[in-house]
Structures are given as C-alpha cells and as structure tokens.
Amino acid sequence: MKNLYSPWRIDYILQEKSDKCILCEKPKANDDESHLILKRGEYSYIIMNLYPYNNAHLMIVPFRHLAKLSELKEDELLEMARMVQLCEKVLTNVYHPEGFNIGMNLGEVAGAGVADHLHIHIVPRWAGDTNFISTIGKTRVIPEKMEEGYKKLKNELNKLNNAEEK
C-alpha cells in the first residue's frame, strides 16, 4: 500500500471535539478570514468548505440553526438563493469552471456532515477533475492553499460589490 501524506490533518484529528454546531460557532467568532467566511448577509453567509470535495468548494449557511428546508422563512430562502447566484458568478470569474454541482444533503443518511444545520454546497467542476487518485485511492487532491483561494474569492466579491454600488 502507498501512503499519501497530509500532515495538515493532524490538527483536526487531535483537536478537542465540541458538541457545539460548527456552522453556528464560526460566524460568532467575528474573525471571518481565519474561519474562511467570504460574505455575510442578513440571514446567511458564504463560507469555504474546510474539507472540500473540489478546489473552491463553497457553502451557503443560514445563521439560524435549522435542519429542514421547510423551516426557512421566505426572506432567508431568497437570500440564500441570491448567494448561490453570487457564488456561481464569483467562482466563474476567478476559477473558470466548466460546470457546477449545487445541492444540499438533508439528514445524516443523505450524506450531511453537519446534519442538524442545513447548508447549500456549490462545487466548481472541470473536465478531468476526478482522476485515478480520487477514483481508486478514494482521496481528493486540492491544488491550492485555502488561504490563497480565500484571498482570490474575497477580492472578486469586493470588486463585484464595488461595481454594484456605482
């Protein structure tokens, strides 16, 4: 068997586990950059997925702790849909993906990593982004540091916000 070293994961493995909801706690910290929060709205926020399926994998998360889509109020749902549109635009401008997977996993049996706090995934896709290592080795290779991706995406969001204000 061959080994693929990922020494950065040891911090996650050894960290003290919390019973608090990570998607509720990150925005409370008021340190958006270190928590990879790209944008805050009135009802929801955009965050980079710390354990992405692909490079620049984003999530839209409501501030309210909800497990079901039917629990969202109309304003929350509308803002989240607009955030999805914004993510599509920003990711297209920065990374030029050839497609997207956009969706939700509601409930643990549906694949939700955080089953009791719904969120929308936006995963940019490119031809050939699934290769032998992900197919055979069940391992994802993310080619960019999270901090570099954060800066690129944040800069593009700022450009778009400035253009809208004019």
Residues designated as active site: 119
Q: Which residues contact 41 (CB under 8 A, 6 or more apart)?
A: 79, 83
Q: How far apart (Å, rounded) are the C-alpha atoms in residues 123 and 33? A: 20
Q: Which of 39, 40, 38, 58 is nearest to 49 (CA)?
A: 58
Nearest CA-CA partner of 55 in 132, 165, 137, 152: 152
Angle at 112 between CA 107 and CA 114, to 5 degrees: 100
Find all residues with CB under 8 Å of 84, minimum gap 6, and list them. Answer: 60, 102, 120, 122
Would you say 36 and 128 are in contact if contact means Cβ atoms under 8 Å apart? no
Q: Give kind and range of the element (H or E) at residue 62.
A: strand 58-62
With tokens 């309210």, the residue in question is 64
